């Protein structure tokens, strides 16, 4: 619960655009549905979700939805129960009222096949690969990797020639 | 065993791995982009195309190669993994090297062209490494859940 509260606090640091995606995720919409609703592409939705996941420590999409719902519950419940009863608030009681989540996510939260296969996995990319200049960064990464591979290949060839070990030519 | 045959075996093995439930759409796109050129004889690996008795035209080769490259680039720009980026870079090197040879820009003298299995080898290693990493990540997250 403490961890969830920490993560819930991090939700406040999200931008308005990220927040509106999180709200729709918490409502159980798929990326396609969110994209249609916000007038953006599914890929853009996934990128925003990815950034949110990064900010929250790489947690799953279902966990984001759960934490957002918890945060909402806290925001509504705390002032009401406090004003009515004046008793200290029992955060664990709130947690106990939550419905347990199925392993694959929240009910109606069924991710598409594509997402189930890949998008919900922890990202191996640093945040800059998901930011506004993501395409540029990724293209630069491809170029750098290509140059690196080319360099390795050339070095291998030079080394093999130097050592007199010429690799067998291809069949063509 | 030559570099070419070892590469061919590795590519086929990794492509088989990508059919397992552990693999996602990214892995399958990349495996298809890796295997299609191989099946059509786009690489300098003779066994598959020769055994099929298939000799594709240059236009078909170029078209399929472009299609595979676009598939890889789509995966590289849409997914959250490293291996599509590495595979795209390797494919770009392969495409440029072959283009140099086709256009008669002295490419035939480039030693790199005698090792055109290398881009495929890099792609197979990147994809295989990606699937293995994903398998480890999933088993770790399952263990901690």
User: In this complex, do B137 and A149 lie within 8 Å of one another by their Cβ atoms?
Assistant: no
Q: What percent of chain B has pLDDT over 70?
A: 71
User: Per-domain residue ranges for chain B?
Assistant: 3-144
pLDDT digits (tens, 9 = 90+) for B38-81: 766 555 555 455 555 666 666 776 777 788 888 888 888 888 78
Which residues, other chains included, contact A159 with Cβ-Cβ below 8 Å and sequence gap of 6+?
none
pLDDT digits (tens, 9 = 90+) for A14-39: 887 888 888 888 877 778 778 877 87
> What pLDDT is attached to residue B145?
60
User: In this complex, do A146 and B118 lie within 8 Å of one another by their Cβ atoms?
Assistant: no
Considering only CB atoms, B44 lies closest to which of A135, A138, A170, namely: A170
Does the CB of B139 have a partner CB in chain A at under 8 Å? no
Of A34, A50, A53, the closest CA to residue A42 belongs to A34
User: In this complex, do A170 and B90 lie within 8 Å of one another by their Cβ atoms?
Assistant: no
How far apart, in whole angstroms, are the C-alpha atoms of residue B95 and residue A25? Answer: 41
Q: How far is CA B13 from the centre of its chain?
A: 12
Tally Cβ neighbours within 10 Å of residue A10.
14
For B128, the enclosing helix (H) or strand (E) is: helix B117-144
Query: A83 pLDDT exceeds 90?
Result: no
> Which of A 44-73 lie inside 8 A of B, CB atoms?
46, 50
Q: What φ, ψ does residue A59 adopt, rounded to 5°?
A: -75, 165
Tokens 């953006």, located at residue: A40
For residues A123 and A58, the answer to whether their CB atoms sit within 8 Å is yes
Q: How far is A32 from chain B (nearest CA, A)?
A: 15
Q: How far is CA B6 from the centre of its chain?
A: 14
What's the pLDDT band for A111 if we cut at 50, 70, 90?
very low
CA dihedral A61, A66, A70, A76 (to 10 degrees): 90
């Amino acid at each position: 619960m403490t961890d969830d509260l920490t993560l819930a606090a991090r939700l406040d640091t999200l931008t308005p655009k990220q927040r509106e995606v999180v709200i729709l995720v918490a409502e159980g919409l798929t990326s396609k549905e969110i994209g249609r609703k916000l007038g953006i592409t599914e890929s853009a939705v996934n990128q925003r979700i990815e950034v949110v996941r990064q900010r929250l420590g790489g947690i799953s999409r279902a966990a984001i939805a759960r934490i957002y719902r918890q945060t909402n519950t806290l925001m509504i419940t705390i002032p009401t129960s406090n004003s009515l009863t004046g008793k200290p608030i029992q955060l664990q009681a709130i947690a106990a009222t939550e419905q347990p989540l199925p392993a694959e996510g929240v009910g109606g939260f069924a991710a598409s096949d594509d997402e189930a296969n890949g998008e919900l996995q922890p990202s191996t990319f640093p945040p800059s690969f998901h930011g506004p200049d993501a395409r540029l960064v990724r293209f630069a990464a491809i170029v750098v990797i290509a140059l690196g591979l080319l360099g390795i290949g050339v070095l291998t060839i030079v080394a093999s020639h130097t050592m007199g070990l010429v690799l067998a030519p291809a069949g063509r | 065993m030559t570099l070419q045959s070892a590469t061919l075996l590795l590519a086929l093995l990794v492509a088989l791995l990508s059919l397992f439930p552990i693999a996602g759409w990214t892995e399958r796109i990349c495996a298809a982009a890796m295997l299609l050129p191989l099946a059509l004889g786009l690489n300098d690996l003779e066994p598959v195309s020769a055994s099929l008795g298939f000799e594709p035209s240059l236009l078909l080769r170029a078209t399929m190669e472009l299609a595979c490259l676009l598939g890889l680039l789509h995966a590289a720009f849409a997914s959250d993994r490293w291996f599509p980026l590495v595979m795209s870079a390797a494919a770009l090197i392969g495409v440029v090297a072959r283009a140099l040879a086709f256009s008669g820009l002295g490419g035939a003298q480039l030693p790199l062209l005698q090792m055109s299995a290398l881009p495929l080898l890099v792609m197979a290693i990147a994809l295989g490494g990606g699937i293995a990493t994903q398998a480890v990540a999933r088993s770790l997250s399952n263990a901690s859940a």
